[in-house]
Structure formats: structure tokens, C-alpha cells
Amino acid sequence: MKRIIVSVTNDLSFDQRVAKTCASLHDAGFEVSLIGRRKGNVLPIKRPYRVRRIAMLFEQGFLFYASFNARLFFILLFSKADAFWANDLDTLPANAFAATLRRKILIFDSHEFFTEVPEVQSRKWVKAIWSFLEKVSIGAAKLVTTVNQSIADALQAKYSLGHVQVLRNVADTSIAFTPKHRSEWGWSAADFLVVLQGRGINIDRGAEELVEAIALLDGVSLMIVGGGDVWNNLQSLVANKALTGRVCFIPAVAYAEMLAIIAAADVGMSLDKASNKNYEWSLPNKIFDYSLVGLPIIASRLPEVSAIVEGYAVGITVESVTPHTIAAAIELMRDNPTDLATFAANTVWLNADLDWQKEFQPIVKKLHEFFQA
């Protein structure tokens, strides 16, 4: 049984891409070990493979990333393994160095266009350092994967790579959940309920404009599920707009529980702005989470998102992310129940066509080829 060590810098509790990756590797017959960080009061997790959380002295910034990679490197250097799987650029240096020294197979899974995220893009020297680390490390990877074709093309062009394998964040349709009823939050069947969910509800993701859109509408309520940098600002905005009775905040919960909650809504929202290349080329997990529970979708008109939402006819897109365009789209959905039902019905087609188990099969095939070579 070949051993694969998977590493990521988060605390493991809510990263569904990593969880699905490890589960699929385990189901394919590999021995998997997952390494992450320990941060605060983390949720206990039970997985059918080894899980290790590293306690860190530093919580963020340069010292965190430097110390995490140093500790990870020494763990990888002395662990029994046949391959290393690095999730995102912030684990790649340690994995690349260890894989090179030990002559092991390295897989690099880029969850986003890391050097173009807002937190990096606006800081010249920080961007330069991460770009340098990616440039000197990515060549060690036997296989590079990423979340969509736009980012795959960008990585290929930027680093003169060969094939970059696309591994989209499609849902695992085998996950079981029991839908909750909106009455748990005091809403009736007559209320038109929209939901925005995500662990990264940050700046330029349309959350503020969505709240302001709700203020323009009558008979529409909003659930915001998850967390992010603008969470506190959104709560203040809701209070200032006198929307406390129409907007509720639900902190991040386990994945199946999140699916059960969002299933109570009528429409799912995804409103990232094209303010940077990472967002412009994004294909958020929430698109597939909404589809999995049968929700029609209102989304910003980004290339990868539009290809899914319009291509599978599971919702509509808005040209610009403003309170008025969002409000108009919500009204269009609410006032056309036949279209709403058609969009919901089409999610069955999307879920059948884009399933994680199918999406991951080419990865398993490549790994077996690597190990047999």
C-alpha cells in the first residue's frame, strides 16, 4: 500500500476539498496521512486515515508561514511516505524541498491563483516572495492540479508547465443530509428565503451589496452561513439597515449540517467580483453545494461560474454586483415560480454529470501510473 502525506495550513475542520481528496485517496487503496494546523478550539474530526494537527506559536503572517513550513519539512523528511500532496502554495516549499531531497513524488494542488489573491496582490514585496517561492518549487511537482481551466491555463503560461490537471470543487453526491425547515429560524413557507454561504465571506464577495439588496425588497429574507473577514461588518450593516428580523447569521458548522441548513432556502447566492484575477477566475465551492441541495442560483457573471450556472441552466447571472442588480435578480426569481422550479429540477442533471468521484478518477489513474513507473 503506497503512503501519501497530504498537508494544508488550515485546521482541517471545514476544508471540504482536502477532506474529499483524502477520502478518495483512501478509498482508492492508498495509505493517507493528513497534516494541518491546530488553531484555537478546533472541532474534533474522525476520519478513516491518520490526522495530525500542528500547534503553532505564531498564528499569521510571515512568521507563521515560515515556521509552519520549517516544521512540516522536518516531519516530511523523517516520515514514511511514497508521495507528498501539497495543498496550495503556502505548503509547497516544504513539500518540494522534502520531495527533492528524498526523491519522492510530489503533487501540487493549487486551490486558487494564490499570487493574485487580494491579501497578496496589493502588497508588492509579499507578492514577490510568494511568486519566487512558487517559481522555484512548482517544477518539483510530478503532477499539478487546480480548480478550473482558467487557473490551469494561467499556471501553465506563467511557469511554462506541461499539462495542469483540472480538479473542480464539485460536490460529493454520496454525502447524506437531512434538510432543515425554515421554521427553525422563524420564517414561514410564504417567505422568499435566499442564502449566502462560505467560510471565506470576505471583501469583494458581494455580501455587503446583498444585504443592501435585501433592504430594497419586501418579503425577502436572508441567511448568511459560514464566516469570513467581513462577518462583523455585515452584522453592523444589518443593524444599521434595521434588517435584524430579516437577516440571520449562522456560524460555520460541519459540512452535512451546512447542507441541511442551506436546503431550507429558495435561492443560493454567489456574488464574487472580478476585482482581481483570483476572483475573476474563481469557481466557488458554494455553486456545487447549492446544486447538491437543489437550489437555483443567482451568481455574478464570471467566466467559470457562468459556464456552470448558464450551461446547466440552474440559475441566472448578474452583469454587475450592485444592490439594485441583485435585488432585480431576486425579484425575477421570486416572481417567476415556473422558472424557479425548472432551475431547481436542472440541478439533478448537474449533480449527475459533475460528481466528485468522477472528477477524481483521472487523478487516481495518474498516481497508479507514477507508482508503477
Does pLDDT of 356 surpass 90? Answer: yes
Tell me which fold the domain 182-353 belongs to.
Answer: Rossmann fold (3.40.50)
Instruction: For residue 358, name the pLDDT band (cuts at 50, 70, 90).
Output: very high
Identify which has the larger pLDDT, 261 or 14. Answer: 261
pLDDT tens digits, residue range 243-293? 999 999 999 998 999 999 999 999 999 999 999 888 999 999 999 999 999
Q: What is the pLDDT of residues 172-224, one digit of tens each?
A: 998 999 999 999 888 888 899 999 999 889 989 999 999 999 999 999 999 99
The whole-angstrom separation of Cα 25 and Cα 162 is 24
Long-range contacts of 66-75 (CB under 8 A, 24+ apart): 68/9, 68/37, 68/94, 69/93, 69/94, 70/94, 72/7, 72/35, 73/97, 73/98, 75/35
Angle at 316 between CA 312 and CA 320, to 5 degrees: 135
Question: Average pLDDT for residues 113-137, to the nearest whole number?
Answer: 88
Look at residue 187 in the predicted model and tell me its pLDDT. Answer: 87
How much is the average pLDDT of 53-62? 89
Higher-confidence position of 295 and 163: 295
- Superfamily per CATH, domain 3-170+355-372: Glycogen Phosphorylase B; (3.40.50.2000)
Give span(s): CATH 3.40.50.2000, the chain. Answer: 3-170+355-372, 182-353
Q: Using one digit for the tens of pLDDT, what is the confidence trace for 314-355?
A: 999 999 999 999 999 999 999 999 999 999 999 999 999 999
pLDDT value at 238 more than 90: yes
Q: Does position 124 have pLDDT exceeding 80, yes or no?
A: yes
* pLDDT score of 373 more than 80: no
- What is the pLDDT at residue 133? 95
Q: What is the pLDDT of residue 58?
A: 87
Q: pTM above the 0.75 mark?
A: yes
Strand blocks (E) in the chain: 3-7, 31-38, 50-55, 83-87, 105-110, 143-146, 165-166, 192-198, 220-226, 247-251, 267-270, 297-300, 315-318
Share of the chain above pLDDT 90, in %: 83
| Cell numbers found for residue 364 | 487516481
Distance CA 312, CA 289 (A): 15
Is the pLDDT at 41 greater than 70? The verdict is: no
